[in-house]
Amino acid sequence: MKETLLLTKHMRSNPEDSHLIEVYEKSNGYKTAKKVLLQESPEKVLEEIKDSNIRGRGGAGFPTGIKWGFLAEDEERYLVINADESEPGTFKDRILLERDPHQLIEGIIITCFAANIKNAFIYIRGEYAKPARRVQNAVEQAYQKGYLGKKIFGSDIDLDVVVHLGAGAYICGEETALLNSLEGRRGEPRLKPPYFPAVKGLYMKPTLVNNVETISSVPWIVENTGKEYNKLGVEGSTGTRIFSLSGHINTPGNYEIEMGSSFGEFVETLGNGVRNGKDVKAYIPGGASAPWFRGDQLDIKMTIDDVANNNSMLGSGAVVIMDEETNLVSAAKSIVSFFAHESCGQCTPCREGTTWLEMILERVASGRGRTSDIDLLLDVCDNISPGLSWPPKMTTICPLGPSAVSPITSLMNDFRDEVESLIPTKILL
Amino acid sequence: MSWEDSLLKQAREIIDMYPQKRSAVGPLLHLAQSKDGYISDDSISVISKLVGITEVQLKSVSTFYSMYKQEPTGKYLLSVCKSISCEINKSDEIIDVVKDFTGLNNNETDKNGLFTFEAVECIGACGGAPAMQVNYETVEGLSPNNTLKLCEWLKKELPEVVVAEEMQEDFGGYKSFDWAISDQSGTTGSVPGFQTLKTTKERN
């Protein structure tokens, strides 16, 4: 198994200075944007994106071309880049922001041209201070060169880009919460309908919200055509994808690969195997929100559809390996605590449910569990996501609450013995 | 209003970046944090007038986000990650070291105003777990021993600008990815070091 470098090619070829505009231009950077703006039509660009069959890299996997096609007509439209990467296990956007910010800006220019947008925002999570500085520097360089601002590349097109820092709320990765946050409000998700960003987004105007990796892919797709991109990977999961590999693995890191290989192959080749030669007890295929797979399920293919067919999700592309010695109850507790901390508090099942799940798991993990706790856990989960099915049924505005249910259903379905073994069978008085 | 003219000027420049004033609330709260080390009532009053919303509306925004501190923070904000990849790579040991060294529990600040400790959720350094941030500058691949050395170094050297690269070289280990680019920029307070906020400097 080898990497296929599209998005990470420039940064790999110029490790020390890939962030500078002059170096990016030497790698043919901004040529595509310039050519598109001066010679091509927005329809042609949209056609290429549709032909590529690229699906959003933020987690939901929605086809990007269709998303762009939904954008309602209006004088005032916006593009918002979702760089609020906070899903535990995920650090792929960080490398794109830190090491190739101009690729993202070129993607923004092409996207705004295709969608007739004059204002774009890059919403970067507050904790990503260094990546935000790099992007800000890059934006300033692009302005100086006339690639942003008025009449860019000598065309009659204007485009302004603002880099906006978040302030430590995972929920702002949810697109409507992000828009509220960018409007200076609490980062609480909006109800869909009616607040589909493509119709009523930022300032109630039509807005495209796209992930960093998605928009960073745009220059390659437009330069090499959507058809070429569509040839990479497999049907339904075309192109390359940057997977963040972490956990008990010999060489954690970001790896750009074509989708379609198995998780086991990924772990053994690019990950160089499990640390200390141990076995995999369980692994997370797509970030903390995704239900886990067992160690004997490493033959599942890394595609959006294969993972979905096995009742989990490829999500943000974050693969977390847990070896045979991992205390899975503590691991689940860590994930549930995360969601309890990040719940925005609007919906009762999520706000109360995640807190309850955290308390019960804490009790079980510390050996003070009660025999009724397993049923109680499942009951609370059922109140957040009725039926505990996948994809989850919702009682909440956004999927954060149901995401907290994922690790618990994984524990109960596959590792119930481990939970039960932690619960004292007799209470000593 | 009791913000100095220079800060007000900076605030107005930030407001001008956005189509609507209220969008500047986020960066203005970061600015307030950089001034006082927390979001003071005074700042709430100033910002609410600048953007034209009530103090209560602004307070409800300020208390929603974990990076806007409601109480004064120390010179160095020590944020140790406890999310899944760090958790299974023994972040609890790192947390214990920081707690022992500073004598602080979660979200506490010492009397001298030197350190604030917090155990935080994912900072996007999962490949270099366990990891932490000092004033939002990341150090990856920590060991308990190196964490202790990092804390001692901060206390002794009192660096004016906290730089990720410097800390990573001296106290870090395996990284999420090759940082590759030499970078001496860092932060000057318990806020993200960012050009728009004027909270970033190059290390001398």
- A226 and A237 in one domain? no
Facing residue for B25 by CB, picked from A126, A128, A184: A184
Angle at CA A215, nearest 5°, toward A213 and A220? 95
Contact call for residues A87 and B122 (beta carbons, < 8 A): yes
Answer yes or no: is A365 within a domain.
yes
State the best of B56, B78, B83 to mutate against chain A, taking most chain A CBs within 10 Å: B83
Q: What is the pLDDT along chain A (429 residues), one digit of tens a residue?
A: 999 999 999 999 999 999 999 999 999 999 999 999 999 999 999 999 999 999 999 988 899 999 999 999 999 999 999 999 999 999 999 999 999 999 999 999 999 999 999 999 999 999 999 999 999 999 999 999 999 999 999 999 999 999 999 999 999 999 999 999 999 999 999 999 999 999 999 999 999 999 999 999 999 999 999 999 999 999 999 999 999 999 999 999 999 999 999 999 999 999 999 999 999 999 999 999 999 999 999 999 999 999 999 999 999 999 999 999 999 999 999 999 999 999 999 999 999 999 999 999 999 999 999 999 999 999 999 999 999 988 899 999 999 999 999 999 999 999 999 999 999 876 555
Instruction: Report the sign of the C-alpha dihedral through residues A351, A355, A356, A361, in that order.
Output: positive
Facing residue for A16 by CB, picked from B67, B120, B180: B180
- A183 and A301 in one domain? no
Question: Following DSSP, what letter does each residue of A293-337 receive, concatenated?
Answer: EEGGGTTSBSSHHHHHHTTS--TT-EEEEEETT--HHHHHHHHHH
pLDDT at A425: 79
Tokens standing for residue A213: 């990796």
Answer yes or no: is A1 within a domain.
no
Shortest CA gap A37–chain B (Å): 25
In a 3-state reduction of DSSP, which class is residue B101? helix
H or E element that contains A254: strand A253-258
In a 3-state reduction of DSSP, which class is residue A127? coil
Answer yes or no: is A376 within a domain.
yes
- A244 and A194 in one domain? no
Residue B32: closest CA among B201, B189, B204: B189
The residues in A 287-346 lying below 8 A from B, measured between CB atoms, are: 288, 318, 320, 322, 326, 330-331, 334-335, 337-338, 341-342, 344
State the best of A11, A18, A334 to mutate against chain B, taking most chain B CBs within 10 Å: A334
Question: Following DSSP, what letter does each residue of B155-203 receive, concatenated?
Answer: HHH--SSB-HHHHHHHH--S-SS---S---EEESSSS---GGGT-EEE-
In a 3-state reduction of DSSP, which class is residue A141? helix
Cβ separation A184–B26 shorter than 8 A? yes
- A109 and A16 in one domain? yes
Shortest CA gap B48–chain A (Å): 11
Partner B contacted by A163 (CB < 8 A): yes
Answer yes or no: is A33 within a domain.
yes
Tokens standing for residue A357: 């799940």
Q: What whole-number distance in Å separates Cα of residue A40 and Cα of residue A245?
A: 39
Cβ separation A253–B176 shorter than 8 A? yes
A283 backbone dihedrals φ, ψ, rounded to 5°: -145, 155
Cβ separation A15–B180 shorter than 8 A? yes
Contact call for residues A99 and B180 (beta carbons, < 8 A): yes
Shortest CA gap A233–chain B (Å): 24
Nearest residue of B to residue A121 by CA position?
B18
Tokens standing for residue A61: 């996997």
Answer yes or no: is A429 within a domain.
no
Shortest CA gap B6–chain A (Å): 21
- A59 and A201 in one domain? yes
Cβ separation B178–A16 shorter than 8 A? no
Tokens standing for residue B32: 């307030």
Cβ separation B67–A181 shorter than 8 A? no
Convert the pLDDT of each residue in B114-127 to its tens digit: 999 999 999 999 99
Q: What whole-number distance in Å separates Cα of residue A358 and Cα of residue B132?
A: 23
In a 3-state reduction of DSSP, which class is residue A160? strand
Facing residue for B182 by CB, picked from A16, A98, A338: A16
Cis link prior to A402 (omega < 30° from 0)?
Answer: no
Topology at the third CATH level for domain B5-62: Arc Repressor Mutant, subunit A (1.10.10)
- A173 and A130 in one domain? yes
Q: What is the pLDDT along chain B (204 residues), one digit of tens a residue?
A: 589 999 999 999 999 999 999 999 999 999 999 999 999 999 999 999 999 999 999 999 999 999 999 999 999 999 999 999 999 999 999 999 999 999 999 999 999 999 999 999 999 999 999 999 999 999 999 999 999 999 999 999 999 999 999 999 999 999 999 999 999 999 999 999 999 999 999 997
- A244 and A204 in one domain? no
In a 3-state reduction of DSSP, which class is residue A409? helix
Cβ separation B61–A88 shorter than 8 A? no
Task: Please state the ipTM of this predicted complex.
Answer: 0.98
Alpha helices (H) in A42-162, listed in sequence order: 42-52, 64-70, 92-99, 101-115, 129-145
- A63 and A74 in one domain? yes
- A195 and A239 in one domain? no
- A257 and A197 in one domain? no
Shortest CA gap A373–chain B (Å): 23
Cβ separation A320–B23 shorter than 8 A? no
pLDDT at B184: 96
- A155 and A49 in one domain? yes
Nearest residue of A to residue B201 by CA position?
A133
Convert the pLDDT of each residue in B15-45 to its tens digit: 999 999 999 999 999 999 999 999 999 999 9
Q: What whole-number distance in Å separates Cα of residue A55 and Cα of residue A86?
A: 20
In chain B, where the domains are located: 5-62, 76-202
Cβ separation A87–B122 shorter than 8 A? yes
Shortest CA gap B62–chain A (Å): 8
- A265 and A225 in one domain? no
Strand A237-238 to A233-234 pairing: antiparallel
Residue A288: closest CA among B119, B94, B86: B86
Partner B contacted by A126 (CB < 8 A): yes
Q: What whole-number distance in Å separates Cα of residue A209 and Cα of residue A225?
A: 23
**CATH code of the domain containing A245:** 3.10.20.600
State the best of B29, B64, B89, B168 to mutate against chain A, taking most chain A CBs within 10 Å: B64
Contact call for residues A90 and A57 (beta carbons, < 8 A): no
Cβ separation B24–A184 shorter than 8 A? yes
Shortest CA gap B130–chain A (Å): 10
Answer yes or no: is A63 within a domain.
yes
Class of domain B76-202: alpha beta
Residue A269 lies in domain:
233-323
Q: How many domains does chain A have?
A: 3
**CATH code of the domain containing A192:** 3.40.50.11540
Answer yes or no: is A427 within a domain.
no
